[in-house]
Structure 1
Amino acid sequence: MAGITAGTGVAGLLLFLVVQGAMMPPEGEEVTGRFAALMFLDFLLGLAALGLLPLALRRAPVGAGLAIIAVSGLSSLAFPAACLCIIRIAALRRPRYVAATAAVFTAGMAAGTAVNPGDPIDGEIWWVLVAAVVPLVVLVLVGLNRGARQQLIVSLHHEADSARREQDARADQARLAERTRIAREMHDTLAHRLSLISMHAGALEYRTDLDAETIRSTAGMLRETAHKAATELRTVLTVLREDEAEAAPQPNIASIPALVDSARAAGTEITLSIEPALLATGEDAPADATSRHLYRVAQEGITNAQKHAPGHPVTVSLTGAPGHGITVKVSNPISGSPHRSPDGLGLIGLAERARLSGGSFESGARQGVYMTKVEVPW
């Protein structure tokens, strides 16, 4: 703002010198007191207008702006500042403000002509009107155009903010839906484990013919099952089930080959590789929650490839070992076809699963290949 004020002051000073130089009496004639008084008044009013300019351009464009416009007819130094004020008021796009600006500007020009020591052109008032209307119309048009552009920019910002909030809401809904889905899966697993504990604990309570080895073995199984149930319980999200639990067992890593066979039957060329350690059972197997998450990663990756890159081969690989974590990669080549890269809510769900498992998620296109990669601890 200081730069605008300084630039306006320089322009006003140059205009002041030109106007006062043109109005100076011819050589040999003395400078009258009236001329000196008007020049001094021009300078003082110009300084006052420059002092009000920052206020007119920011907080009070109408009040301070009209004051500057009013004195511009008597002060050439204030005229550039008045031009900025006319543009600023017109940018508000209010008809009553534009009408008030026109009236004040015309009145100021008429007052300046009335006190001018020079002779008006043939004494006709139309010269004053033309001199006022022409620059006024140009400045008002500039201000209206500027106001229209500002309103368009504000409207675009509002639309962008609205779109961003809508996308954030959709992402939050996707994360909540994925959390609910995870909780539903864990509910079924916990129910199964607790049923096993109850059944074997009941056998220990009512069976009196069991030998010590059988009791020890059953107690160890109960301890292991309880430990796994506690591990599952620590990762359960505090969300309510929205519908009834599915009766079918939850999918896991062992279900991925069937998933791949189903996709192949639909016409998708898929290459699958799973390290044998990931298919182990018993204590060496990955946690049930981790196994389910890896299945969902493979499922979402294959679905995205079928949807967004049909006809392209898909590669699914699962690698890992205890203590080194597990990595799932689903990749497929992409081309310049109109199919867009997957960026929907499914990937948000995978990122949420990876985060809840303490792992990492990565998805994107590199060198003509789109890859979804998830790493989870084991």
Structure 2
Amino acid sequence: MHVPPATLPRRLLIGAWLAIAALTAVVVVTSNLDVRTGLLLDVSVALAALGLTALLFTRHTVAAALGLAALAALSPAATPAATAATLQVARSRPIRTALLVAVAGTLGHAVQALWHPVPLPLVWWLLCDVAVHAALLGWGAFWQERALVLWSLRDRARRAEAEQEQRVAEARTAERTRIAREMHDTLAHRLSLLAATAGALEYRPDADPAALAAAAGRVRSGVSDALEDLRQVIRLLRADGLDHAPDLDDVAGLVEEAREAGSAVSYDAPAAGSAEVPPAVRTTLFRVVQEGLTNARRHAAGAAVRVELEIGPGEATVRVADDGGRPGAPGDGPGSGTGIVGLHERVTLLGGRFDAGPRAGGGFTLAAWLPWDR
């Protein structure tokens, strides 16, 4: 891949042109100290060379270089400009084009030596001519390759920086999603329990005082548990981690809390095998049950809920199903819709399957299958 070098600053271009002009003037003067007959030719060639030099740093570089090589065959006045042209083409054009210009410059100076007096024997002059143009070609190619390497390094640095920014943005998004999921999975469950208990108190003001006191106690206990869950989330935000990750043993506590809040919940606990379940799978199974009970209270108040948890060799299955609830029973209102999305992400990350949807006979079902290495 050919990458043109960066455009030279205008001050540098002007300086280069002035330097070539000065060298050209020196050549014209020194070559005509004794012979005055070639002065007009040298001056004409010098002016033409200076005019073509201005085109070396444009898109006409190759044409200008070939023109200077032709002028070098007429007079040594074009030698400084022709030499600079060979170097400029070598540093800014492909090697084949640069080689063509170097050969043209070599031939131009060889022709100049055939009819114009030179300070060295002709053979040595030709050897020096070839050596100089070969050196210019190599120098320009090295210059171009160096510019290509620097451009490549800068491009890689820019891409690496962009990729790093993208990774940071993705990490921030993932962390925000994780925090939002934890907040939903913990606080939403507690608050839905409180709402269900408060709803029972609101619709049964004539209940037995002992029952009212027990319900008020559950509200107080629920608020205390919600505050503790909030502290857990705050510790998570501070990157301190959770003191207690939910476990399969806590599923029975979820079921008992739901029953105390007035829900009819049946629970088929696994007979054995829970000890071999990895911690991440245990937490996810707990969250599925938690979300299923929360959804049943929110969208199907008064529904009978069945929780099934099975542990097999290298896999676990959990299912939470409700029967749709009683028409007109008070619920907690619409949710945020992020709970099921969060569960799907949890289960998918563990290589499992997650299903959520209405049942054929009415109601709603959450189901998840989670594997692990045996």
Query: TM-score, with normalisation over the residues of structure 1?
Result: 0.49
State the structure with more CA Rg.
2
Normalised TM-score (structure 2): 0.50
